[in-house]
Amino acid sequence: KCVAAICHGGWLAISAGVYKGVRVTGSPGIKDDLMNAGAIWEDAPVVVDRHFVSSRKPDDLPWFAHAMIEVIRNKV
């Protein structure tokens, strides 16, 4: 299943405990939270790691949407 988060949405994945060892991005404001949860943070418009898709901010929505479509397309 595609797991996608943009901006502060990474907090949900942190709470679910699913980001350990996963390459992600997100709002710079939660960078430390992501890293403390075991994620590997990158400053990029979108990061795809297996079925995880993440983006930093609303300006990244075009890349985020495209990446989600590609992950879903390849998982069906």
Catalytic residues: 8
To the nearest 10°, report the CA torsion of 68, 70, 73, 74: -120
d(CA 42, CA 10): 13
